[in-house]
């Protein structure tokens, strides 16, 4: 993980500081004087040598002090903290519900493989995958919020007691968006286990089909399922950009979009590194969980 993080910091620094041009000229404007550009470069710390800038960037990562936003002048750490609560409120409940439901439905589909339930599940999932996520957002927002009046169309309440009414519809949309790909993946993984030799042996011993699925098939299918689930987990932190923007949720996704529009390099660099760290940490978590569900996997 350490060499990967070093590589990510170096690549991120190179892309934004060397390839991206001189931000001071962009902030100063077309008609700025040379003196004004020099002042802005000094304010942004761009008058230092490349080596000093890189070491300062690494120091920021190690100390979790990413400095201030060029656009808003806020502490980037504060911006991340403020947005993280809103993002987790949006992503965690829908993610947990989706994983549990998709695994359960995939298990039932494989249990009744070849039946109408199984084939219907596949057809519905392919249909869900064929529609753009933007269509789900606009359609459900129009039908359930605008026409039905069941939920607010958009908005946000920063209090922990008032925010939930604004989150129910985004939860539903995120849940629906996850059904198609996740059920098909879990179904394929579980189906592969059904035809393994150990399953035939268990059936030959006279074990009931429900027992075979619950104790053997699902347990052995957990490693690829864990892989899929853990790969999706960093999204819990980085947020869902479309959902947050459509519903006015002040999460991390919206913060990143605003930083991109403003060419706010310190914020973009901070989120790039945080995203990379999240993926590395969750992949490490997956390796640890493998040993918990499969005794053949040993940590060393």
Q: Are residues 16 and 157 in the same domain?
A: no
Residue 237 pLDDT: 78
Residue 70 pLDDT: 79
Q: How far apart are CA 60 and CA 54, in angstroms?
A: 10
Query: Domains in the chain: how many in total?
Result: 2
Q: Is the pLDDT of residue 30 over 80?
A: no
Output 18 or 171, whichever has higher pLDDT: 171
Average of per-residue pLDDT across 275-295: 83
DSSP annotation of 112 reads T
Give the number of C-alpha atoms closer than 13 A to the C-alpha of residue 268, restricted to the C-beta side.
17
Residue 68: inside a domain: no
Q: Which residue has the tokens 């190690």?
A: 62
Q: Is the pLDDT of residue 93 over 90?
A: yes
In this structure, what CATH number is given to the domain that contains residue 287?
Answer: 1.10.3720.10
pTM of the model: 0.80
Q: Is the pLDDT of residue 21 over 80?
A: no
Residue 78: inside a domain: no
Strand partners, 75: 68
Q: Are residues 143 and 266 in the same domain?
A: yes
Q: Are residues 126 and 53 in the same domain?
A: no
Residue 20 pLDDT: 59
Q: Is the pLDDT of residue 25 over 80?
A: no
Q: Is the pLDDT of residue 14 over 80?
A: yes
Residue 71: inside a domain: no
Q: Are residues 125 and 238 in the same domain?
A: yes
DSSP annotation of 141 reads I
Residue 159: inside a domain: yes
Q: Is the pLDDT of residue 234 over 90?
A: no
Q: Is the pLDDT of residue 19 over 70?
A: no
Average of per-residue pLDDT across 154-183: 90
Average of per-residue pLDDT across 254-280: 84
Residue 120 pLDDT: 93
The domain of 135 spans 85-293
pLDDT digits (tens, 9 = 90+) for 148-161: 889 998 889 888 88
Of 63, 93, 116, the residue at which a domain comes to its end is 63
pLDDT digits (tens, 9 = 90+) for 58-82: 888 888 888 888 788 888 888 888 8
Output 295 or 127, whichever has higher pLDDT: 127
Average of per-residue pLDDT across 210-235: 83
From the list 15, 42, 9, the residue with the least C-alpha distance to 27 is: 42
Q: Are residues 287 and 151 in the same domain?
A: yes
Q: Are residues 185 and 105 in the same domain?
A: yes
Sign of CA dihedral 182, 102, 97, 225: negative
Q: Are residues 149 and 242 in the same domain?
A: yes
Sign of CA dihedral 229, 235, 236, 241: negative
Average of per-residue pLDDT across 174-195: 90
Average of per-residue pLDDT across 280-295: 82
Q: Are residues 208 and 276 in the same domain?
A: yes
Q: How far apart are CA 121 and CA 227, in angstroms?
A: 22
Q: Are residues 133 and 41 in the same domain?
A: no
Q: Are residues 159 and 122 in the same domain?
A: yes
Residue 32 pLDDT: 73
Q: Are residues 184 and 136 in the same domain?
A: yes
Of 10, 33, 63, the residue at which a domain comes to its end is 63
Q: Are residues 17 and 157 in the same domain?
A: no
């Amino acid at each position: 993980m350490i060499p990967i993080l070093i590589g990510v910091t170096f690549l991120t620094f190179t892309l934004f500081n060397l390839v991206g041009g001189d931000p001071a000229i962009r902030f100063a404007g077309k008609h700025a004087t040379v003196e004004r550009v020099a002042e802005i470069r000094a304010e942004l710390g761009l008058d230092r040598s490349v080596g000093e800038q890189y070491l300062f960037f690494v120091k920021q990562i190690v100390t979790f002090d990413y400095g201030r936003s060029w656009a808003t002048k806020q502490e980037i750490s504060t911006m991340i903290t403020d947005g993280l609560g809103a993002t987790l409120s949006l992503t965690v409940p829908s993610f947990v519900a989706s994983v549990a439901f998709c695994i359960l439905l995939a298990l039932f589909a494989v249990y009744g493989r070849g039946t109408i339930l199984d084939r219907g599940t596949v057809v519905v999932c392919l249909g869900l995958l064929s529609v753009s996520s933007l269509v789900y957002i606009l359609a459900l927002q129009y039908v359930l919020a605008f026409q039905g009046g069941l939920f607010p169309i958009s908005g946000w309440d920063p209090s922990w007691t008032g925010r939930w009414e604004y989150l129910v519809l985004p939860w539903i949309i995120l849940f629906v968006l996850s059904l198609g790909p996740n059920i098909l993946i879990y179904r394929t993984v579980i189906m592969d286990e059904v035809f393994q030799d150990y399953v035939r042996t268990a059936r030959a011993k006279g074990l009931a089909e429900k027992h075979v699925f619950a104790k053997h098939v699902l347990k052995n299918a957990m490693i690829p399922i864990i892989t899929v689930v853990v790969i999706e987990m960093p999204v819990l932190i980085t947020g869902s950009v479309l959902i947050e923007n459509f519903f006015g949720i002040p999460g991390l996704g919206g913060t990143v979009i605003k930083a991109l529009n403003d060419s706010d390099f310190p914020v973009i660099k901070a989120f790039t590194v945080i995203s990379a760290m999240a993926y590395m940490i969750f992949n490490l978590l997956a390796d640890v969980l493998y040993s918990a569900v499969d005794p053949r996997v040993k940590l060393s």
